[in-house]
Amino acid sequence: MRLGGCNLSCRWCDTPYTWDWTGIGDTGRAYVPHEELHPMPWQEVYERLRAYDVPLMVVSGGEPLSQQTRLLPLLRALTAAGHRIEIESNGTVVPRPELAAAGVRFNVSPKLSHSGDREERRLVPEALAALAALPGTAFKFVCRTTADLDEVAAIVARHGTTPVWIMPEGRTPDEVSRHLAALGDDVIARGWNLTTRMHVALWGDRRGV
Ligand code: SF4
């Protein structure tokens, strides 16, 4: 489930249609909110998600924790029905304890300087500490070069953001492959986890329905 709205504005964001209404991202395109956002009651969202009949559901964005209070009834209903829930977050919002109590896990992607977001916006110590303290949280950093890995190491040392996953930045299979090859040896040497972007390898920058 992809939610609209984000409190950051990463220049390379691959989902600018969730928040970029002025064209400040790399694409330069200004998206139109009423074309992209579709408000609906949570009960309707619940029925649509249940119809997929899958055990694991991922809530992404945008920044889902910006709407965490309104998400609670939906996520409680889904976990009560036996679904596992993971929330993807940029790590700038302290999660409400009710989310973890409902069994929600977090995949957190703090942003580096190449995102173009100011440091005080993209690194919020109390939010990172709260997320790192929850069982099952994973931290995923989007990187291009080995210099980015030094920046990751500094964040990990300061904020305790482990376990670390490194994902290559890229909106095309070529970009992802190039960055993955540039990062691989260093990531292994540092003892971190390396991942690729399966959806980009399969579908490039094409949007789903
Ligand atoms: S935090 Fe995520 S959704 Fe928000 S602008 Fe950055 S990459 Fe895009």
Residue 181 has pLDDT above 90, yes or no: yes
Residue 117 in contact with ligand 1 by CB distance below 6 A: no
Label residue 40 by pLDDT band (50, 70, 90): very high
C-alpha 129 to ligand 1 mean position (Å) = 20
178 CB-contact burial (10 Å; exposed 0-12 / middle 13-18 / buried 19+): middle
Greatest distance between any 2 Cα atoms in the chain = 48
C-alpha 9 to ligand 1 mean position (Å) = 6
Residue 108 in contact with ligand 1 by CB distance below 6 A: no
Scan for tokens 């931290």, then name that residue: 139
Sign of CA dihedral 1, 148, 21, 69: positive
Residue 92: what pLDDT? 98
**3-class secondary-structure state, position 21:** coil
On average, the pLDDT of the chain sits at 96
Q: Whose CA is nearest to atom 7 of ligand 1?
A: 13
- Of 45-49, 84-88, 129-133, 203-207, which range is least confident? 203-207
Residue 205 has pLDDT above 90, yes or no: no
Residue 167 in contact with ligand 1 by CB distance below 6 A: no
Residues 200-209: what's their mean pLDDT? 87
Q: How many other CB atoms sit within 10 Å of the CB of residue 197?
A: 20
Residue 59 in contact with ligand 1 by CB distance below 6 A: no
pTM: 0.95
Residue 207: what pLDDT? 86
Residues 66-86: what's their mean pLDDT? 97
Q: Determine the topology of domain 1-136 in CATH.
A: TIM Barrel (3.20.20)
Residue 209 has pLDDT above 80, yes or no: no
Residue 61 in contact with ligand 1 by CB distance below 6 A: yes
Q: What is the pLDDT of residues 119-176, one digit of tens each?
A: 999 999 999 999 999 999 999 999 999 999 999 999 999 999 999 999 999 999 999 9
Delimit the domains of the chain by residue range. 1-136, 143-209
Residues 172-187: what's their mean pLDDT? 96
Residue 4: what pLDDT? 97
Residue 6 in contact with ligand 1 by CB distance below 6 A: yes
Nearest one of 134, 111, 3 to 67, comparing CA atoms: 3
